[in-house]
């Protein structure tokens, strides 16, 4: 059952249970067999094993792969890891020929190549999940370029924006997330196979051939680094943590926007749950879970940071602990991205309430100051004057648009009838057409650029 020699006594069951990783690395079966197929074909081409042996081994490896996929062959969870399982299963079937597969290879480069193949695969999947969410955001933005809402700083009413402008800010975060995934993929796209335990091998292996067969850009440059490098795992864990940070912030906002106090949005009944005691309750569980699951992603990142920091070159068994964290982070991030797309897609906006709320909190105070600047006042003077006017409005429970022109003139003779147009909420939005701004024409450019850069 063990891959190592008879000079060792074998492990007691308790120790074997402690040592093994097959319970979680079993999901790497396809990557492991792909790696072995490339390896055995290379051994044959380099005349390290015969063509006949290669044929027997690769045919049976393909059978094993197919049978696992078809659920005809169960992975034996008593083996130490997925590498041991595949090799032992092969040898069980083809006899001693199977024992030639591990020539010029170690589990150290084998588990490294498996993990890089897995990483490339899941990066592709997460990319799709992000792209999908960006598309859903663009759709809701396109429908809501004129949907006025208040924007906040310090969670206090600040200025006017549109729902499109607000939600598109998350598309920008996700676009950066996407770019980081491409960047990580570019760096990890090198083949560690052939590094063997740490110092390659005396056999004349061809690492360029296995790289090509496995779809890597090239072989890794240094064999010691190759078997102990887990930087790409950390990069994925960091990327996922940042994605989860963005989703968590969005969920936090949507959760309070859905409260009775804000009442800006409604989650679809499909993404809410009730209470077992309070019959009226509609709880935003899915959004809360996404927010909560960000904690798992950060935990996974710091698990691997902590595992790596004290390890010497080259391979140490500590590295086996990288997998559960990586798998958990990938599963968490991918499922959260998917649920987020579904949540946004089915979001109901209460445009009336958002519009009403935009009239509160003097969102157009900056516009009033800008009006005075247009009329010739220095901005700081205008700022002070508007401060006094807001104070007056607050005391008298008035909106800026409710104050009479005569009263405005008491504050300054500069004010004229046109001030009311200037501070109207719709105009406040329309006037902010600077590149990147909330006016409809600026938002259209944002959407156009986003679509273009993502080939949508």
Catalytic residues: 154, 275
Three-class DSSP category at 364: coil
Q: Which two tokens stand for residue 135?
A: 């598309």
- The distance from CA 303 to its chain's CA centroid, rounded to whole angstroms, is 18
Least Å distance, CB 61 to ligand ARG, is 18
Shortest distance, position 194 Cβ to ligand ARG, whole Å: 16
Sign of the dihedral through C-alpha 382, 387, 392, 394: positive
Alpha helices by DSSP H, 258-374:
285-309, 322-345, 351-358, 365-374
Interface with ligand ARG, residue 21, by CB under 6 A: yes
Task: Indicate the residue among 7 and 317 with the shorter CB distance to ligand ARG.
Answer: 317
From the list 278-286, 312-320, 377-385, 403-411, the region that binds ligand ARG by CB under 6 A is 312-320
User: Radius of gyration of the chain from Cα atoms?
Assistant: 31
Residue 192 DSSP class:
-
Element (H, E) at 150: strand 148-153
With tokens 């990783």, the residue in question is: 21
Q: Which is nearer to ligand ARG, 318 or 345 (CB)?
A: 318
Rounded to the nearest 5 degrees, what angle is found at the Cα of 49, between the Cα atoms of 45 and 50?
80
* Position 230 contacts ligand ARG (CB under 6 A): no
Give the one residue of 319, 362, 371, 422 binding ligand ARG; rule: CB under 6 A.
Answer: 319
Is 265 in a helix, a strand, or coil?
strand
Of these, 238, 298, 315, 408, which contacts ligand ARG (CB under 6 A)? 315
Told to check if 320 binds ligand ARG by CB under 6 A, we report yes
Q: Shortest distance, CB of residue 317 to ligand ARG, whole angstroms?
A: 6
Which 8-state DSSP code applies to residue 348?
E
Which residues have C-beta within 8 Å of that of residue 96, sequence separation ≥ 6? Answer: none
Q: Could you give phi then psi for residue 189, rounded to 5 degrees?
A: -75, 50
What are 147's two structure tokens? Answer: 């949907």
The only residue of 57, 61, 111, 214 in contact with ligand ARG, by rule CB under 6 A: 111
What are the CA-CA distances from residue 158 to residues 154, 169, 261, 264, 407 (Å)?
Answer: 9, 16, 18, 16, 24
Taking the complex as a whole, the smallest distance from the CB of residue 81 to ligand ARG amounts, in Å, to 4
First CA to last CA across the chain, in angstroms? 52
Between 326 and 419, whose beta carbon lies closer to ligand ARG? 326
Our finding on whether 36 is near ligand ARG (CB under 6 A) is no
Residue 90, both tokens: 């092969």
User: Judged by CB, which is closer to ligand ARG: 317, or 395?
Assistant: 317
Could you tell me the smallest distance in angstroms from the CB atom of residue 68 to ligand ARG? 18
Distance in Å, CB of 360 to ligand ARG, minimum: 58
195 binds ligand ARG (CB under 6 A): no
HSE-CB at 82 with a 13 A cutoff on CA atoms is 26
Nearer to ligand ARG, 16 or 353 (CB): 16
- Which lies closer to ligand ARG via its Cβ, residue 199 or residue 456? 199
CA distance 243 to 232: 16
Residue of 17, 67, 15, 28 lying closest to 327 (CA atoms): 28
Q: Is 107 in the site for ligand ARG (CB under 6 A)?
A: yes
Among 32, 81, 177, 300, binds ligand ARG (CB under 6 A): 81
Please tell me whether residue 118 binds ligand ARG under the rule CB under 6 A.
no
CB of 18 to ligand ARG, least distance (A): 13
Does position 193 interact with ligand ARG (CB under 6 A)? The reply is: no
For residues 308 and 231, is the Cβ–Cβ distance under 8 A? no
Q: Answer yes or no whether residue 317 interacts with ligand ARG by CB under 6 A.
A: yes
From 105-113, 184-192, 369-377, 439-447, span contacting ligand ARG (CB under 6 A):
105-113
Among 36, 44, 108, 294, binds ligand ARG (CB under 6 A): 108
- Does 223 participate in binding ligand ARG (rule CB under 6 A)? no
| Nearest residue (CB) to ligand ARG, 111 versus 337 | 111
* Residue 32 touches ligand ARG, criterion: CB under 6 A: no
Q: How far is the CB of 232 from ligand ARG (least distance, A)?
A: 15
CB 148 within 8 A of CB 355: yes
The binding site for ligand ARG (CB under 6 A) comprises 21, 25, 81, 107-108, 111, 315, 317, 319-320
């Amino acid at each position: 059952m063990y891959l190592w020699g008879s000079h060792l006594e074998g492990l007691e069951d308790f120790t074997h249970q402690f040592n093994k990783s097959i319970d979680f690395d079993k999901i790497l079966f396809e990557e492991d067999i792909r790696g072995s197929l490339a390896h055995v074909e290379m051994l044959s081409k380099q005349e390290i094993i015969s063509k006949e042996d290669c044929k027997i081994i690769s045919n049976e490896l393909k059978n094993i792969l197919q049978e696992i996929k078809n659920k005809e062959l169960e992975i034996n969870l008593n083996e130490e890891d997925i590498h041991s399982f595949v090799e032992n299963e092969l040898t069980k079937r083809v006899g001693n020929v199977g024992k030639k597969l591990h020539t010029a290879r170690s589990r150290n480069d084998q588990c490294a190549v498996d993990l890089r193949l897995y990483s490339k695969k899941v990066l592709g999947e997460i990319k799709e999940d992000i792209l999908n969410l960006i598309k859903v955001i663009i759709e809701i933005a396109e429908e809501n370029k004129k949907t006025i809402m208040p924007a906040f700083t310090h969670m206090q009413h600040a200025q006017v924006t549109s729902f499109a402008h607000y939600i598109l800010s998350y598309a920008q975060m996700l676009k950066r997330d996407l770019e980081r995934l491409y960047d990580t993929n570019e760096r990890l796209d090198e083949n560690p196979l052939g590094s063997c335990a740490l110092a390659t091998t005396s056999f004349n292996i061809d690492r360029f051939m296995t790289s090509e067969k496995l779809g890597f850009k090239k072989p890794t440059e240094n064999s010691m680094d190759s078997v102990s490098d887990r930087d790409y795992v950390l990069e994925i864990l960091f990327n996922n943590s940042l994605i989860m940070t963005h989703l968590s912030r969005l969920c936090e906002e949507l959760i309070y926007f859905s409260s009775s106090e804000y009442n800006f949005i409604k989650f679809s009944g499909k993404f809410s749950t009730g209470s077992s005691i309070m019959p009226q309750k509609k709880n935003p569980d899915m959004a809360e879970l996404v927010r909560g699951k960000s904690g798992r992603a950060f935990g996974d990142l710091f698990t691997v940071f902590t595992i790596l920091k004290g390890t010497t070159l080259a391979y140490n068994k500590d590295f086996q602990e990288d997998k559960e964290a990586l798998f958990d982070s990938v599963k968490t991030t991918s499922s959260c991205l998917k649920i987020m797309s579904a949540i946004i897609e089915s979001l109901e906006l209460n445009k009336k309430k958002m519009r009403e709320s935009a009239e509160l909190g003097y969102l157009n105070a900056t516009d009033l100051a800008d009006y005075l600047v247009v009329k010739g006042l220095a901005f700081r003077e205008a700022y002070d004057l508007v401060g006094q006017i807001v104070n007056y409005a607050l005391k008298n429970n008035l909106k800026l648009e409710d104050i009479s022109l005569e009263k405005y003139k008491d504050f300054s003779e500069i004010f004229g009838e046109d001030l009311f147009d200037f501070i109207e909420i719709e105009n406040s939005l329309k006037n902010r057409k600077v590149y990147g701004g909330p006016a409809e024409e600026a938002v259209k450019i944002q959407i156009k650029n986003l679509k273009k850069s993502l080939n949508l």
